[in-house]
Structure 1
Amino acid sequence: MSQDLAINGGPKTISKTFNWPIYDEQEVNAVAAIVQSGKWGNPDCGDEVEKFEKEFAAYCGSKYAITCVNGSVSLRLALIACGVKPGDEVIVPPYTFITTASSVIECNCVPVFVDIDPDTYNISPAAIEAAITDRTKVIIPVHFGGLSCDMDAIMEIANRHGLKVIEDAAHGHGAEYKGKKLGSIGHVGSFSFQSSKNLTSGEGGIVITDDDELYAMMHSLRNVGRIEGGQWYDHYNPGCNYRITQMQAVLLSAQLKRLEEQTKKRNENGLYLNELLTNVKGITPLSRSEYITLHCYHIYIFKYDAEHFGGLPKNEFAEMLAAEGVPSFRGYPHPLYKQPLFQNKNWMCYAIPETADYSQTFCPVAEQACATDAVWILQHAMLGEKEDMEGFVRAILKIQEAVS
């Protein structure tokens, strides 16, 4: 194997550092002002949280937004507000982060894994339809990597069966489906503000909705079961303190001012990288349908074919690519249903029936994506310049030439 490869001590193709998060004195001064005020908490110490909630709702084109401590809790709030009962089934994809499914377990409900589309790695509407039973109550489509699911098809299925749709838009800040911001199409949209996300305050989450009843319930659950207009020590619902702080809120307000420009930059770079990679044998970018009016590329995903790289396994290719200076990763090692939580039935919930058994669950597209095909380039790299995208391709070609 060539000594020119960076993994073998050769020079990196990319020497640039892609920093994240991006901030300046605006964020520093905003946080400092909160610290100096001594009013750090929420909701009794200021209105910065409510201010950000209104800003984010307006940005998404939604009526309401409710912040919470993280994107896992945001899914849990949405599920409870949507009226799930113990033993109900919730349809989820297997190619996503654990909390899309573990939040279902936390609600004493049963995750039903259905496969993803081979061209987009998003949940397959046909697989959703086939999985619906009389116990199904909610569908959670994940806009994986910031690429929108086929929301028209999903909403049509949900409406026909009387199901609620919770959009997991943890990767989807700023992205659009037919001109609508992701998260604003289903009954509830759920976002994360964890440190890697396109909009971040280190940790945090938010839910958005146009539904008055869903809003009232999620708002109450987030605030220890209190209701708007009620007394401080009156608790109507089984909620907890899931509130964020004033410091997180001002960080998010400042970061939100950058989001649209950053999203357009990622989208532009993604389109250019797609164009460049069409000429590389063995590399296939995920497809973008015409309904994707804006892609935020939280993850840029391409499919890798080892046959065109001398049989080099995907994991080794991904290590080589990262060594060349491309902020990249092999992706998930296996689908969610293979996690010990599901294989060992470690859910510790009274309502999950004994018949819930994931030992024989098999989603072939997700399995192949994890094992051999999917390689990720991370979102902060997509804020680079055109010459950086060209550098990513040079790194891939360098590896291909060395191993073929």
Structure 2
Amino acid sequence: MKKIERVTELEKQYVMEVLDGEFSSKTSYKMVTRLEKEFAKKMHRKYAIAMVNGTATLHMALEAAGVGIGDEVICPPLTMSSSSLCVLQANAIPVFADVDNDTFLITADNIEKKITSKTKAIITVSLYGLSPDMDPIMEIAHKHGLKVIEDDAQCFLAKYKGRLVGTLGDMASFSFQSSKHMTAGEGGIVVTDDDELALKLRRYSGLGYGSIGLEKGRITKDDIQDPNYERHVILGWNYRPTDLVGAVALAQLERLDELVEMRKIAARHFLNAIKGCNWLRAQKVNDTDEHSYWAFCVVLDTNKVNWYEFRKKFMEFGGDGIYSAWKLSYMEPAFKNMNFLGREKLINNKYEYDYNKVKCPIAEYLQPRMLQFKTDYWDEADAMKQAEILKQTIDYFDKR
């Protein structure tokens, strides 16, 4: 029976190194710099640029890709809405493409149907820890001259056709938010192999400082003590993370393999629990791919059992609870009512885009039927107990 700690002495050691430095300019940002170098190496990419969270990373990736006013970005509706809110933050227009019924992921065919002369980029989401079918998506992107940004917030160390997820698009964004495979409470990072994109990511997330470079994430005393120093060469955002975030994330990165493996162990117990049940359907994983199971998700046949009734019985038997899938992004009040802090003028006046008319029928079918089970059990015995409760719940409704 496997058991690990979510936070160990290593995280505490690195945090104390930062605190012992008393945030001196001589020591500050060293942990973030170490994190960036090690994360790039781990993800087999040339560059990694850390930021305050996994929404800022997506926003900066869009800005680096040249997305701006009036441009369209294609993204899936079945995910946490940061994947489309970031498009609005870049003053662009989210365009929603439907997902696959079996994998729950955005597909090349649905993306191609949404491409127009205004399309500038595609955001793919590796939902629950599984990558979309990226080869045909990249082919379409190259054909139309579009940048592809992987949103891998829920997907660490998964594989697509034997290749590491995060190495497939032009850029890939990861999150260190508290529920993710590795965490610093918050934080995020973008990886890329492109020198130009990396420099833009660095400068745009660092207040547009001219002295920031590919390997330099912050300005120095020599810079700011020069009265002729010209700080800002371009508009930028202050999205840089703290060294405390860098310290915790670095320690978690060094432990990432075991952190991911614990979630996969939990998922295997859940998969065993649903074997033989024809009214619960798990996310399809192709033989060539590896799932990293940020969560374990199944689709419920609601003709057999009501969603709320299933959750209630699961919890009565001692289950930790069941999360629903997110409301489809275009069905959220912000989109339906166009509450975009003035950005609606860019959409209404110019393109007359109405999110009340958007239809993604497969996503709309899946979302109210999805049962999402947590996999962040650091003691395998806890995961086994939850899987047994799931099996008990299935047996109850089978016998009813």
TM-score > 0.5 by shorter chain: yes
Q: Tell me the residue number matched to 2:299.
A: 303
| d(CA) in 1 for partners of 2:209, 2:318 | 50
Q: 1:179 to 1:399 in 2, by over 3 A?
A: same
Q: 1:267 to 1:330 in 2, by over 3 A?
A: closer
> Given the alignment, which residue of 191, 200, 203 partners 2:174?
191
| d(CA) in 2 for partners of 1:205, 1:333 | 21
Q: Tell me the residue number matched to 1:213.
A: 196
Residue 322 of structure 2 is aligned to residue 329 of structure 1: yes
Deviation at 1:276, TM superposition (A): 4.0
Q: Amino acid of the residue matched to residue 285 of structure 2?
A: R
> Given the alignment, which residue of 66, 73, 90 partners 1:83?
66
Q: Tell me the residue number matched to 2:125.
A: 142
Deviation at 1:304, TM superposition (A): 0.8
Q: Is the CA contact 1:40–1:247 (under 8 Å) kept in the aligned structure 2? A: no
Q: Within 5 A, what are the aligned runs for 1:49-64? A: 49-64=32-47
Q: Within 5 A, what are the aligned runs for 1:12-161? A: 22-39=6-23, 45-161=28-144
Deviation at 1:390, TM superposition (A): 4.3
Deviation at 1:320, TM superposition (A): 2.9
Between the aligned residues of both structures, percent identity stands at 34
SS in structure 1 at match of 2:334: helix
Q: Is the CA contact 2:46–2:192 (under 8 Å) kept in the aligned structure 1? A: yes
Q: Tell me the residue number matched to 1:165.
A: 148
Q: Tell me the residue number matched to 2:373.
A: 377
Q: Is the CA contact 1:40–1:245 (under 8 Å) kept in the aligned structure 2? A: no
Q: Tell me the residue number matched to 1:358.
A: 355
Q: Tell me the residue number matched to 1:8.
A: none
Deviation at 1:149, TM superposition (A): 0.6
Q: 1:290 to 1:241 in 2, by over 3 A?
A: same
> Given the alignment, which residue of 319, 326, 338 partners 1:345?
338
Q: Is the CA contact 1:314–1:330 (under 8 Å) kept in the aligned structure 2? A: no
Alpha-carbon displacement from aligned partner over 1:8-60 (angstroms, at most 9, x marks no partner):
xxxxxxxxxx999801222122212322220277x972411100011111111
> Given the alignment, which residue of 298, 312, 323 partners 1:319?
312
Q: 1:238 to 1:35 in 2, by over 3 A?
A: same
Alpha-carbon displacement from aligned partner over 1:266-287 (angstroms, at most 9, x marks no partner):
3344345334423123111111
Q: Is the CA contact 1:164–1:187 (under 8 Å) kept in the aligned structure 2? A: yes
| d(CA) in 1 for partners of 2:231, 2:326 | 46
How does the TM-score come out when normalised to structure 2?
Answer: 0.88
| d(CA) in 2 for partners of 1:325, 1:319 | 10
Q: Tell me the residue number matched to 2:227.
A: none
Q: Is the CA contact 2:3–2:378 (under 8 Å) kept in the aligned structure 1? A: no
How does the TM-score come out when normalised to structure 1?
Answer: 0.88
Deviation at 1:329, TM superposition (A): 2.4
- After TM superposition, the structure 1 stretch with the greater mean CA deviation from structure 2, 241-250 or 393-402, is 393-402
SS in structure 2 at match of 1:352: helix
Give unpaired runs (5+ residues) of structure 2. Answer: 214-218, 225-229
Q: Is the CA contact 1:269–1:382 (under 8 Å) kept in the aligned structure 2? A: no
| d(CA) in 2 for partners of 1:247, 1:322 | 37
| d(CA) in 2 for partners of 1:130, 1:25 | 51
- After TM superposition, the structure 1 stretch with the greater mean CA deviation from structure 2, 19-28 or 298-307, is 19-28
Q: 1:383 to 1:257 in 2, by over 3 A?
A: farther
| d(CA) in 2 for partners of 1:34, 1:152 | 42
Q: 1:44 to 1:250 in 2, by over 3 A?
A: closer
SS in structure 1 at match of 2:95: strand
| d(CA) in 2 for partners of 1:280, 1:32 | 50
> Given the alignment, which residue of 289, 300, 303 partners 2:286?
289
Q: Is the CA contact 1:40–1:246 (under 8 Å) kept in the aligned structure 2? A: no
Q: 1:180 to 1:237 in 2, by over 3 A?
A: farther
| d(CA) in 2 for partners of 1:242, 1:75 | 11
| d(CA) in 2 for partners of 1:40, 1:380 | 36
SS in structure 1 at match of 2:346: coil
| d(CA) in 2 for partners of 1:102, 1:20 | 35
Alpha-carbon displacement from aligned partner over 1:203-254 (angstroms, at most 9, x marks no partner):
1111000000000000001111013367455212211221111111111111
Alpha-carbon displacement from aligned partner over 1:137-188 (angstroms, at most 9, x marks no partner):
1010100001111011111111111110000001012212123222221001
Q: Is the CA contact 2:70–2:347 (under 8 Å) kept in the aligned structure 1? A: yes
Aligned length: 380
Deviation at 1:85, TM superposition (A): 2.3
Q: 1:303 to 1:38 in 2, by over 3 A?
A: same
Q: Is the CA contact 1:175–1:263 (under 8 Å) kept in the aligned structure 2? A: no
Structure 1 vs Structure 2 CA RMSD:
2.4
Deviation at 1:382, TM superposition (A): 8.2
Q: Is the CA contact 2:177–2:184 (under 8 Å) kept in the aligned structure 1? A: yes
Q: Amino acid of the residue matched to residue 147 of structure 2?
A: K
